[in-house]
């Protein structure tokens, strides 16, 4: 299966020299759990979106942008998502990708009055999707970095992971089909730590130090990668 990665954001300039870009993080994550081909379309660098119909599957990265921003690529990406859903192209969204899938498919995303979500967050697994062959744990933990949140559930979406801070942390759209997470399973701990440290001036010392300390909690990043792989396998298009 070939995964078309839509790059919607760049690693912050302050740490860009020490880490690969987000599409590379996605490639590493998925290569640990399966054999895939990859294409990248960087809308944040001005590349045009392809027609979704011929694509095998789509993954949408994180971004510092909000779905409500005026970036010129946001509206076309929403149109692309709706067209892909109408043609049953499997889609996976992470962080901003999670948010723009929800917004494009009828939900609502806002800058949350709860403020920053950073560090390792733990979510309750509230539903175990039918495409999974492994048993679901009661909880999953993963790195996060976001201010925006989905606040209205899109039609046809079901919640699979939730917390008090993020009630719509994981969404599954059986009909679209799509799977999305607010967290970042593609981040390794070194990158998460560098990202939080680089944002200390915005987060403040207490929040930054708490985020860094929380990385001692074991993450479920590989488990979430397996869930994504299982979703892609279950919804593979028959041509």
Query: What pLDDT digit, counting tens, does each position of 193-235 carry?
Result: 999 999 999 999 999 999 999 999 999 999 999 999 999 999 9
pLDDT tens digits along 72-86? 999 999 999 999 999
184 is catalytic: yes
Cut 0.75: pTM above it: yes
Residues 6+ apart with CB under 8 A from 202: 116
- Per residue in 115-164, pLDDT (tens digit) is 999 999 999 999 999 899 888 999 999 999 999 999 999 999 999 999 99
Catalytic (active site) residue 186: yes
List of domains in the chain: 2-234 (3.40.50.880)
95, 98, 221, 235: which one is catalytic? 95
Tell whether the model's pLDDT for residue 239 goes beyond 70: no
Active-site pick, 103, 146, 183, 186: 186
Q: Is the pLDDT of residue 3 over 90?
A: yes
Q: Say which of 121, 146, 184, 235 is annotated catalytic.
A: 184
Q: Is 128 a catalytic residue?
A: no
Contacts of 48 (CB under 8 A, 6+ apart): 41
Q: How far is CA 190 from CA 26, 56, 183, 213, 217, in A?
A: 16, 32, 16, 13, 14
């Amino acid at each position: 299966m070939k995964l078309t990665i839509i790059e919607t954001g760049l690693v912050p300039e302050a740490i860009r020299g020490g880490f690969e870009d987000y599409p590379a993080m996605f490639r590493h994550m998925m290569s640990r759990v399966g054999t895939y081909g990859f294409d990248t379309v960087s809308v944040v660098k001005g590349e045009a979106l392809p027609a979704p119909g011929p694509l095998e599957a789509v993954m949408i990265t994180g971004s510092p942008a909000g779905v409500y921003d005026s970036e010129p690529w946001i509206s076309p990406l929403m149109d692309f998502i709706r067209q892909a859903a109408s043609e049953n192209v499997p889609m996976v969204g992470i962080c901003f990708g999670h948010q723009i899938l929800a917004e494009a498919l009828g939900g609502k995303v806002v800058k949350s009055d709860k403020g920053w979500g950073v560090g390792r967050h733990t979510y309750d697994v509230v539903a175990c999707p039918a495409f999974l062959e492994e048993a679901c744990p009661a909880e999953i933990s993963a790195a996060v970095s976001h201010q925006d949140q989905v606040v209205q559930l899109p039609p046809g979406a079901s919640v699979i992971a939730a917390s008090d801070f993020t009630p719509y942390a994981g969404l599954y759209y059986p009909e679209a089909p799509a799977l999305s997470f607010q967290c970042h399973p593609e981040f390794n701990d070194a990158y998460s730590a560098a990202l939080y440290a680089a944002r200390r001036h915005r987060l403040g010392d207490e929040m930054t130090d708490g985020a860094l300390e929380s990385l001692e909690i074991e993450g479920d990043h590989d488990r979430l990668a397996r869930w994504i792989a299982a979703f892609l396998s279950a919804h593979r298009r028959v041509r």
